[in-house]
Amino acid sequence: MKDNTHTLLLIDDHPLFRKGVADLIAMDSSLTLVGEAASGEEGYTKAVQLQPDLILLDLNMKGMDGIETLKALKEADIDSRVIMLTVSDHEENVVAALRAGADGYLLKDMEPEEILDRLRQAAGGRLVISDNLTELLARALCEEPHPRDEDAAGLTDRERQILELVAQGLSNKHIARELNITEGTVKVHVKHLLKKLNLRSRVEAAVWAVTGRGR
């Protein structure tokens, strides 16, 4: 496998859609589809076995649904970036997925080239969300109390620095590289700043930071 090629696992219970995604991935030399699964249970097993760079996960599946599968993958501490790819743009589904640790949320009705572009961004360590969902997520955040700014939250200089990089969509691994600190240290700082800001996920922190920081 080439160093600049990112591996991908697709978990979706619709065979025709899996075929379409496989054909789409084949168009991009930087992405390689290494596995497909028709259910959450099968997807989890293959994810553990294959350890892909990216996992594309459908939300609505029979049996073990997307959220349950996502939680299981995160609990297994698999070092894969999990991107939801679904038809649902319902606020509760978007928020639930991102709070469960999804690294992105894309809609199936996006243009094929746009999906490929977002997958390349995700492979590069970026958080990816369909454009029309960012405002929806920002609205959902406004419904919950949180500090108006970093001063009220009492963020340290390092936490502010990391928040800026989270807002740029960088993963813990990329933030660690940028700041020349360990990934474990970044995780601790992210955990602390989320608690101080009364936010539940790094994606929420990113959206909150880029939509006016509560102002």
The CATH number of whichever domain residue 153 belongs to comes to 1.10.10.10
CB neighbour list of residue 133: distance below 8 Å, 6 or more residues apart:
89, 94, 105, 107
Rounded-to-integer distance, Cα 161 and Cα 181, Å: 13
58, 114: one domain: yes
54, 153: one domain: no
Share of the chain residues as helix, strand and coil, in percent rounded to the nearest 5: 55, 15, 35
| Whether residue 83 has pLDDT greater than 50 | yes
Sheet containing 6-11: give its strands across.
Answer: 31-37, 6-11, 54-57, 81-86, 104-107, 128-129
Tell me, what's the pLDDT at 31? 94
Closest Cα partner for 120 from 177, 169, 159, 160?
169
Rounded-to-integer distance, Cα 146 and Cα 201, Å: 13
Tokens of 26: 């084949």
Tell me, what's the pLDDT at 24? 93
Tell me, what's the pLDDT at 106? 92
pTM for the full model? 0.75
Q: Is residue 40 part of a domain?
A: yes
Under the banding of pLDDT at 50, 70 and 90, the label for residue 4 is confident
Range of 28's domain?
A: 6-139
63, 107: one domain: yes
| Whether residue 146 has pLDDT greater than 60 | no
Give the number of other Cβ atoms within 10 Å of residue 27's Cβ: 10
| Whether residue 213 has pLDDT greater than 60 | no
Instruction: Yes or no: say if 8 and 34 are a contact pair by the CB < 8 Å rule.
Output: yes
Number of H helices and E strands in the chain, helices first, is 11, 6
User: How many domains does the chain divide into?
Assistant: 2
Instruction: Yes or no: say if 169 and 126 are a contact pair by the CB < 8 Å rule.
Output: yes
Question: What is the percentage of the chain residues whose pLDDT exceeds 90?
Answer: 47
Mean pLDDT, the chain, rounded, equals 85
| Whether residue 215 has pLDDT greater than 50 | no
pLDDT tens-digit profile of 93-115? 888 888 888 888 999 989 999 99
66, 159: one domain: no
- As a whole number, mean pLDDT of residues 42-65 equals 94
Give 183-192's long-range contacts (Cβ < 8 A, gap of 24+).
Answer: 186/162, 189/158, 189/159, 189/162, 190/162, 190/166, 192/159
Which domain-ending residue is among 115, 139, 163?
A: 139
| Whether residue 138 has pLDDT greater than 80 | no
Q: Is residue 186 part of a domain?
A: yes
Tokens of 79: 């070092």
